[in-house]
Structures are given as structure tokens and as C-alpha cells.
Amino acid sequence: MHKVYHHVHNIAGNVINIRAEGVRYRELAEVTSRNGSSLAQVIRLKDDEVSLQVFAGSRGVATDAQVRFLGHAMQVPFSEALLGRIFTGAANPRDNGPVLTDNLIDIGGPSVNPAKRIIPTNMVRTGIPMIDVFNTLVESQKLPIFARAGEPYNALLARIALQAEVDVIVLGGMGLKHDDYLYFRDTLEESGALSRTCMFVHTASDPIVECLLVPDISLAVAEQFALEGKRVLVLLTDMTSFADAMKEIAITMEQIPSNRGYPGDLYSQLASRYEKAVDFEGSGSITILAATTMPGDDVTHPVPDNTGYITEGQFYLRNGRIEPFGSLSRLKQQVNGDTRADHRSIMNTLIQLYAGYRETLEKQSMGFRMSDWDDKLLKYGDRFEKEMMDLSVNIPLEQALDLGWTILADCFEPMETGIQSNLVENFWPKTEVGDQKSEVGGDAPATEDDAPEPELETAEA
Amino acid sequence: MSQTSGTIVGVNGNMITVEFEGAVGQNEVGYACLGDLRLMCEIVRIRGNRSDMQVFEDTSGLSVGDPVDFTGELLSVELGPGLLTQIYDGLQNPLPQLAEQCGFFLQRGTYFNALDREATWAFTPTAAVGDKVTAGEELGSVPEGIFKHRIMVPFRVSGTCTVESVAAAGGFTIEESIATLKDEHGNTFDVTMLQRWPVKVPILAYRERLRPTEPLVTKIRIIDTFFPVARGGTYCIPGPFGAGKTVLQQLTSRHADVDIVVVAACGERAGEVVETLREFPELSDPRTGKSLMDRTIIICNTSSMPVAAREASVYTGVTLATYYRQMGLNVLMLADSTSRWAQALRETSGRLEEIPGEEAFPAYLESVIASFYERGGVVTLKDGSTGSVTIGGTVSPAGGNFDEPVTQGTLKVVGAFHGLSRARSDARRYPAIDPLESWSKYESVVDAESVEVGREILRRGNDIGQMMKVVGEEGTSQDDFVLYLKSEYIDGTYLQQDAFDPVDGATAAERQHYVYGVMTGFLKASLQLEDKGAARRFFHQLTQTTRDWNRAEMGSEEFKEIQGRLEQMVAEVTVNA
């Protein structure tokens, strides 16, 4: 059955071609050559010609290499023993632990039936006010973090991994710098979070094909945990490396590129990964947070652009802070109505005032005279940035809301904030004597219709 | 029909190459056999004795030498009573049934009948023995929810047939014969309530196609007043991600003044469909008081489902829509998003190694888009009644830049363009349809002259706004400033609409007509306001009060009272000419 083939007649990039029969599409093979052995996967069949993508790369593969087909597609072991372990993109141990071989599961399984999906209702608390208060993360949500290459997106992911209230964390690293990998490992280890974490890490120096496997492996494992009733958070970094790996293979396979060299199915490929985020009715859930670096800080680059169409919102990380404008959690409405009565109002008010602050900054830089109101905004904006936006702030949602009130009370009169009077009565810190102002602006997300439109920074800016 | 079979000789992604013996046809459907699994696929190219077939499922595990059975049929859907309220995938597989059998995941190779074979329908004949009938003419009807579902002579029948027999009133399943017809050649055949029709072929069993003139009221003010859609017309909604395309379509599917809505969720997020799936059964149709689901069919091929089926899903949707049009009903077909469909074409084209056009889309992209939108239209049926299919498609242009092949190909063939803008959605101005860039070739629910008044003010207000950014408020004349505030006023109170408010969320045509009339009066008035501060205060108050007015039920005391106040406010500062 498992015949061994000895003649490789074509090697290009990481793809080798052999002549063989009875081979199944996506089947795995073991390629053994003088320089060692590697797994490989069938990526094209044409008559008796089989194209294989060699996981460890084709370097050193000889034309007389042995190719043995294994009769199954890529699989990954699944058990509780995965927790606390670190693997490579091909699911081999990267720590010094034992190789796991039992209970193998297929990767890249079928997608969830939309008829079985439910409307998500649970918040994932992260302890980061910019997420919890302004763009609440919801269980089963898929959210990317858009950032330039230099931004601390990995630090942010690590912090979320430490603080998020979930049962299991699966971290998929793609094209990680070795330092970043060590940073993740050490940070999780120090805090003890490693025991509920399973890491699949492809570093930049590893073979590129392994990078392609990371999301599928991570998500397959996450799916099994979720089916066991666990709330799983999957962290993927960096999805742009994943897309670049796809580009590399596609070009090797002589596929016609669509946009900036990326294959035409980039959207479908990304979607089939992100859509693994799900809340299983009566069981666990998968939430996906993925870092996507934006080459040239350009959100219209194919990778962030396609990602934005797939995910349920996005976080922009700019200058080490989660940017309040442009960042969006599309699912926040599902949960932020039930947290605390003042959540939505605080969220809207703080952001509107912060928009005012930004505008004032602009005026200031252009040399306009500052009014009293401008001074108040400047004071407010400064405190808001330091006490709320800073990524090192770690406080629960309720405390963050209280902090919001405190900052407001220190900077403004209640009437200046435009918050509904009943909320002001209940929540405005009592030390300050503010006159109760009749309702302004009503309830709903108010739009700024007086005063020149605050120039909310647009995503493309 | 010959049962041709073949064997696989190549696999590349979702494309297989099959060597066959005998005859096969372009776009014929076959099944690739993987053990017991049968995976549906469609021929997309034939070269000699080899055909390239796109597989509607994941191809993992297929091997050279695996057999393929050809069916001799084109990709078809089942038409008959029982389609309404259903949730199908792109190949008309009922998803709830699939879930019952397979659980959480979509197992490949599992196909169900689209329509229930067991259910009986109360048939009432209308044709009589001896009647001469042609394709699409009514033989009888069954009640389906609130509709009279016409049982028609199958669309594939050619020429005139004579009714040999017709069943008496009574309960029948869709596979039982309800009539016997004799065609021109003297062949007799049975007619059942179930018929099959190839999705990529338009149904032409009508008398004549008309020009769409009657407005389709969506109850979204900016659309109905400024960029209207006609029954039987076509429109598109391009916009960057996060601008609210899907929300806009969901609102339209709820409020649109049509009989039936077919929603094709094509390659978009599953979560969004779930909202529709879970919420529609709870919501009631304001026109009938029944559940909204009763008038809805959902075709759901979300982004992680197989790509080839995504391409089929829009055709499945439009075929079902056309079927109900043939009953004299007004149908709205919403496709979200046509860009994903175009990308599916691109993926297939790429695997076929065709010479690519712009951005690697196939060269035939534009003609494919055009022929899809051309399947909309309002027609007179053979019995003189009219029916329509209106098609609304969202477009997701890469980078939000409308200057790309799918958007441009779509703009050429649609009757209305609702361009969403990032700037508006960032400023939380919903719906984020850009009032300056969008256009429509159809007639508005209010008279053209008043629309022009509003449009002119918006245009000039925008110019002044731009200018003000440079010269500041101080450098702007009082007249210009008031004009600017007028444009902001109409934007804030008429173009923007609070989708979550029960009254403001849906504005009927009469109300739009009435309210817009009153507001045009305000816009035309020449106002005497002391200075810019006063002007700003005045418009701030006017805007706030108008918003309250929007939230008041039309005809209620509150409505009249607020209108009185508004008129009073404007009258106080109006200069009498």
C-alpha cells in the first residue's frame, strides 16, 4: 500500500514533483533524503504527476529522495497534554517535551453550519479599558489588530493572553522573530498562564511551508477544546506573514496573482480561518484575535483590506495605543447594554470629548488662541491618554467606568458632557458640586451636529 | 439521456480534470465519487476527451483514477410550493436539515431534497380540460402562507399544449401528478407541482418586459427620496468595510414594500446571516402582521463555505426570485456581496489558467455581471398580471476604492448607485450613503423639483463646508454660513435615520412626501439671523426638534404639535418677501 518512490524529477521552490499513482489530494508524504527527512503535502495531481509541498523546504532534497505516502492528510495530536507545550508549525515539539502521537485529529476541517450558529452574548473581559469599555471583545468574535511593523502588537497579545478570562489559549505564531517567540514564552511562563496555553510557533527562520500550517493547526486544536466545552481564545500573529507565505507558494506554483502578487483566493483563504470563530450552542467557544501588520501603515493593502471584510471589526494600534477612532468591535452592542447602565453613555461621551481634544490639538498646532473650553479639553485629553489609553493600564471594566467618571468630573461640569441627567445623578462623583442640567442630546449615539464636524481620523489617513 | 462516466486525471484545489467517454455538455453537473461520498461538481471547460470541473465541496482525498458520474443536467434548482421560509446553501441544500443530520459542521457530500416530498398542499385547479396552455400559464394554485402559489405549466415546455386532464381540488404532494398535458406532437406528459430549472438560464415565460417605473419603497428616506429604486429595477451598494452595507441590506429586507424577499448571503460573514436567521422569525411584517420569515428565502453561502457553490448561490437566489415573479408577485433579491461572487469567478478562472484581465479578474467579468443584473425586471405575464424582480447587490471594493473592476462593471448596468462613504460612517452618519456621489435613474417618491432643491443645498453646503476648513468660520459670509447650516440640517434630520427607533427606523412613502414638503419650505425660507452664533443656536434647536418629530408617529397629536412648533420657529426668523 504505502509504496516508496525514488525519483523526484522536478524541484522548484519548496515544491517537488514525482510520478506516482493512487495518491490522494492533500495526502501527506514523508520525504527522506541524504540531509534528513521532512513531511510533505500533495498540492496538485495531474495524471501521474504529483506536486508536493515540502514542509522543511526543498533545500537538500535530492532527485533520488525517498517519498513515502502516509495515506492521510495533515493531522495533529489532541489531548489535555497539549497545554503548557510549545510546538513548531508542523506540530513537532519545540520545547524539550515528548512527542505526542495519540488521538490525531484532522486539520482544516469543514466549516460550521450557519443554521447552528447562535447570536453571541458573552463578553470577554481583558482588563484593558480601551477594549473593555470602548470596543468590547465578545466571545466567538474574530478581531484583527492592525498595526505597523514597529508597534507593540505582540506585547498587547501577550497581555491579553495573561488577563483574558478564558479557559484555554492557543497561540499561533507565524513568521515570529525568535525574540518575540521567547518573549511570549517567558511572559506566559512567568505569570503561570503557560499552563492553560498551547503554542504553535513558526519563527522567521523556519521553513515557510510550516507557516501555512500554523492557523489550521491552532484552530483545529482550539475547535476540539471548544467542543469539550472550553472557552478558547486563539491568538494569531502575524497573519500578514501567513498571507505572504501563501503568496510565495502561489507564485512557485505559477498561479496568476491578483493584487500585489497575492493569490486570487486570499479572501477565501483568510475567511476559512477566521470563520472558525464560533460559539457552539451548549458547548464552548472560539474567539480569535489576530495581529495583522500593515505594510506601509496602509489599510488598503490587500491583507488588512481583505481581513477587514472578514472580521467583526478591528483594533488599530498606533503609537503604542489602541486608537479610539477607526477601531471597532462590531459585536459590542450585543453585550455592552447589559454590563452597567452607564457603559454606553460613558463610551460615547469619552470618545466625543476625545475627538474634541484632537481637534483642539490641531487648532493649537496651527497657532489659534485657546479658549477656556479648549483648555478643559486639553486637560481632559491628556488624562484620558495617560489613564485610559495607555496599554499598561490593567483594571476591570467597572473600575474603568468609574475612572471615566472621575476624569470627567475633574475636567468638566456635568452639563458640558451632555450625559443624560439620570445617569449624572447616579454616577457623577459626589465631591464635585455640579448643577443638574436638563437633558441634552437624548439617548442614542448622538451625532455632532453643532460645532464644525470633528474630523474623526479616518482609517485611511 | 446517456449516463456518461469518467475518471479523474487531475486535482488542483477545487478544480478536477476528468477524462470521459461519450458525450458531455458544458456546465453539466457530475458527481466525483470518493468512496461512498459523492461530491457535486460542474463542467466549466472541455478539451478533447477531458473536462475541467469545479467541485462544490472540499476536494481533499480525491485521487487520480476516482470515478465521476455525469448527470446530463445543468446545475438546477427545485421549484415548487414550500420554498418560502427556507434556509438554503448555494446549491439549495436546506441547512437546518443538514444540521439535524450532521450536527455543528457541514459535512461534504450530503445532499437533501430542497423541497419536502411528504407535505401535502391543497390544490385548486383553474385550468379546464381542453384549454390551450403554454409554459408558465396557470393550471391551478395552492395556498403557501399568505400567498396564492400558482402551479404553472413547466417553464421548459415548448409550444402550445392541450390540457388532457386536471386533478380535482384536494391535497397533493409535490411529486403527484396534478394535470396531464398533450403537446403539439401528440405526446402526453404529467405535470407535478415540482419542476426543476437550470439556475444560469433566465426564465422567459412571460408576455413582455416593461420599463421599471413604479417606486419600490424601502422606507429609508435617503434612498426613497434622493436615490430611489424602482420595482423591477437594479441597484448596487458599494462601500468599504465597516460602512454599513450589510446593515443597510438587512433594513431593506425588513421594510421593503415587496411581497417576497430573497436574501443571498454570498461569501460574507456567517455571523451576519445568523442575525437574520434568528431575528426574522421573531419580527413581524408590518404589511401582513405575520412573521417576516414567511415572506423570506435565505440563500446562505458564507465566506468559509466552498467557493464554487458561492458562485452558484447568486444564481440560485435569482432563479427562486424569478419563480415567484411568475406568480405575479413583487420580489426583491438582495445579494451580499457580489464582490465575493466575482472573486469566486476569479478563483475559478485562475485555476483554469485563463488569461487574466484587470486585477486578475477574468475578461468576461463585466458581461457576467451585466447578465446577472439583467435578470431583474418587471414583466407582464401571460395572464396579464405583472410581476417584478428587483436586484440589489452590495459591492466590497478592495480598499474602498470604487475604481476597480467589480464596482465599475456593476455601475454600468444598474439603475441606481448607493455609494457608501467611509467619511460618513466614521462620523456616525447613518445610513452612510454619500448624498453627493450617489445617483439614481428612477423616479422618487417626492416630486423632482423639491428633490432638486434639497440636492442643490447639499451640494453648495458641502462646497462651503470645504471652504470653511480653509478660511475658517470668520472668513465665511453669513449667507453662506446659513446655507451650510441648512445643508447640515437636512443631512442631520432627513438623510440620517435612526435604524433602532421604531418610528424613525422606517418612514413610509406618504410620510416622506409630507415631511419633505414641510422641510423644503424651511429650506427655501430666507432666514434673518443676527450672527453665526445665533444661526448655529437656531439650527441646533431646529435639528433637535425635527429629530423628535421624526420619532413621533405620523398623524398623532405629538406629531402635529411638534410640526406646529417647528413652523413657528422658522416663521419667527423668516424674512417676508
Whether the CB-CB separation of A274 and B302 falls below 8 Å is answered with no
Chain B positions touching A44 (Cβ under 8 A) are 10-12
SS (H, E, C) chain A: CCCEECCEEEEECCEEEEECCCCECCCEEEEEECCEEEEEEEEEEECCEEEEEECCCCCCCCCCCEEEECCCCCEEECCHHHCCCEEECCCCECCCCCCCCCCEEECCCCCECHHHCCCCCCEECCCCHHHHHHCCEECCCEEEEEECCCCCHHHHHHHHHHHCCCCEEEEEEEEECHHHHHHHHHHHHHHCHHHHEEEEEEECCCCHHHHHHHHHHHHHHHHHHHHCCCEEEEEEECHHHHHHHHHHHHHHCCCCEEECCEECCHHHHHHHHHCCCEECCCCCEEEEEEEEECHHHCCCCHHHHHHHHHCCEEEEEECCEECCCCCEECCHHHHCCCCCCCHHHHHHHHHHHHHHHHHHHHHHHCCCCCCHHHHHHHHHHHHHHHHHHECCCCCCHHHHHHHHHHHHHHHCCHHHHCCCHHHHHHHCCCCCCCCCCCCCCCCCCCCCCCCCCCCCCCCCC
- For A93, other C-beta atoms within 10 Å of its C-beta total 13
pLDDT digits (tens, 9 = 90+) for B76-91: 999 999 999 999 999 9
What CATH number does the domain located at B121-193 have?
2.40.50.100
Please compute the mean of the pLDDT values over residues B493-520 and round it to a whole number: 92
Query: What span, in angstroms and rounded, lies between the C-alpha atoms of A126 and B90?
Result: 38
Task: Count interface pairs A-B at CB distance under 8 A.
Answer: 211
Higher pLDDT, A359 or A401: A401
Q: How close B350 gets to chain A, by Cα (Å)?
A: 6
Residue A435, pLDDT score: 44
Q: What are the φ/ψ torsions at residue A10 (nearest 5 degrees)?
A: -155, 130
Contacts of B61 in chain A (CB under 8 A): 24-27, 73
3-state secondary structure B89-140: CCCCCEHHHHHHHHCCECCCCCCCCCCCCCCCEEEEECCCCCCEECCCCEEE
pLDDT higher than threshold 70 for residue A436 = no
- Are A195 and A83 within 8 A, CB to CB? yes
Q: Before A238, cis peptide (omega within 30)?
A: yes
Look over chain B and give the mean of its residue pLDDT values, rounded to a whole number.
Answer: 92
pLDDT-based confidence at residue A1 (cuts at 50, 70, 90): low
Indicate whether B545 pLDDT > 70: yes
Q: Which of A261, A264, A204 is nearest to A238 (CA)?
A: A204
**Which neighbouring-strand residues pair with A348?**
none
B540 at A interface, C-beta within 8 A: yes
Which three cell numbers mark B78?
Answer: 427545485
Bigger pLDDT: A59 vs B170: B170
Half-sphere exposure of A248 (CA within 13 A, CB side): 18
ipTM above 0.95, yes or no: no
Does the pLDDT of residue B260 top 90, yes or no?
yes
Task: Kindly tell me if the per-residue pLDDT of A458 is higher than 70.
Answer: no
CATH topology (fold) of B5-74: Elongation Factor Tu (Ef-tu); domain 3 (2.40.30)
Domain boundaries, chain B: 5-74, 92-107+207-430, 121-193, 448-573
Residue of A nearest to B396 (CA): A309
Residue in A45, A312, A328 nearest the CB of B269:
A312
Confidence label for B307 from pLDDT (cuts 50, 70 and 90)? confident
**Which CATH topology does B448-573 take?**
1.10.1140
Q: Looking at residues A96-120, what average pLDDT do you find?
A: 90
pLDDT digit string, tens, across residues B415-436: 999 999 988 887 778 899 999 9
Residue A431's pLDDT is: 63
| Inter-chain residue contact B267 with A111, CB threshold 8 Å | no
Q: Give the closest residue to B538 by CA, choosing from B527, B551, B554.
A: B527
Q: What percent of chain B has pLDDT over 70?
A: 99
pLDDT exceeds 50 at position B488:
yes
A305: closest chain B residue by CA: B399
Per-residue pLDDT tens for B106-164? 999 899 999 999 999 999 999 999 999 999 999 999 999 999 999 999 999 999 999 99
pLDDT of residue A369 exceeding 90: no
Torsion angle defined by CA atoms of residues A25, A28, A29 and A31, in that order, rounded to the nearest 10 degrees: 120
Residue B242: the pLDDT is: 79
A323/B contact by beta carbon, under 8 A: no
Q: How far is B242 from chain A (nearest CA, A)?
A: 7
Residues 6 or more apart from A10 whose CB is under 8 A from it?
A16, A17
Q: Which domains does chain A have, with CATH numbers?
A: 4-73 (2.40.10.170), 76-335 (3.40.50.12240), 340-461 (no CATH)
What the block records as the C-alpha cell of A7 is: 525519483
Q: Which of chain B's residues have a Cβ under 8 Å away from the Cβ of A300?
A: 398-401
Interface of A with B in 215-254 (CB under 8 A): 227
Interface check B396 vs A, CB under 8 A: yes
Q: What is the pLDDT of residue B2?
A: 54
Chain A residues within 8 A of B300 when measuring between CB atoms: 114-115
Confidence bin at B280 (pLDDT 50/70/90) = confident
Torsion-angle region of A64 (φ positive above 0: left; ψ -120 to 50: alpha; else: beta): alpha
Inter-chain CB proximity A275 and B398 less than 8 Å: no
Taking only residues 352 to 371 of chain B, the set having a beta carbon closer than 8 angstroms to any beta carbon of chain A reads 353, 356, 359-361
Which chain A residues have a beta carbon less than 8 Å from that of B399? 299-300, 305
Q: Provide, as residue numbers in chain B, all residues whose Cβ is less than 8 Å from the Cβ of A274.
A: 304
| Mutation target vs A (from B11, B89, B355; most A CBs, 10 A cutoff) | B11
Q: How far is C-alpha B545 from the geometric centre of its chain's CA atoms?
A: 35
Q: Is the pLDDT assigned to residue A455 strictly greater than 80? A: no
- Predicted confidence (pLDDT) at residue A461 exceeds the cutoff of 50: no
In this model, does residue B565 exceed pLDDT 70? yes
Which of A24, A117, A255 minimises the CB distance to B350? A255
Task: Search chain A and give the residue with CA nearest B544.
Answer: A441
Counting Cα atoms < 13 Å in the Cβ hemisphere of A286 gives: 27
B304 vs A258, A263, A271: nearest CB: A271
Distance CA B391, CA B413 (A): 11
Question: Helix (H, G, I), strand (E, B), or coil: what is residue B501?
Answer: coil
A444 touches chain B (CB under 8 A): yes
B389 close contact with A: CB closer than 8 A? no
Q: Do A113 and B104 touch (CB under 8 A)?
A: yes
Q: Hey, is the C-beta of B87 within 8 angstroms of any chain A C-beta?
A: yes
- In the predicted structure, residue B489 carries a pLDDT above the cut 80: yes
A265, closest residue in chain B (CA to CA): B347
Higher pLDDT, A418 or B198: B198
What residues of chain A lie within 8 A of the CB of B398, using their CB? 259, 300, 302, 305-306
Evaluate whether B92-107+207-430 and B448-573 have a shared fold.
no
pLDDT score of A445: 42
pLDDT of amino acid A432: 45
| Residues of A (53-92) whose Cβ lies below 8 Å from B | 73
Question: Over chain A, what is the mean pLDDT?
Answer: 88
Find the angle CA(A297)-CA(A350)-CA(A128) to the nearest 5 degrees.
65
Q: Is the bond leading into B388 cis (omega within 30 degrees of zero)?
A: no
Residue B317 has which C-alpha cell? Answer: 437566489
Q: Is B430 helix (H, G, I), strand (E, B) or coil?
A: coil
Report CB contact under 8 Å: B242, A26.
no
What does the pLDDT read at residue A452? 40
Is B92-107+207-430 a CATH 1.10.10.10 domain? Answer: no
- Return the closest-CA partner of residue A116 out of B302, B74, B311, B316: B302
Under the banding of pLDDT at 50, 70 and 90, the label for residue B387 is very high
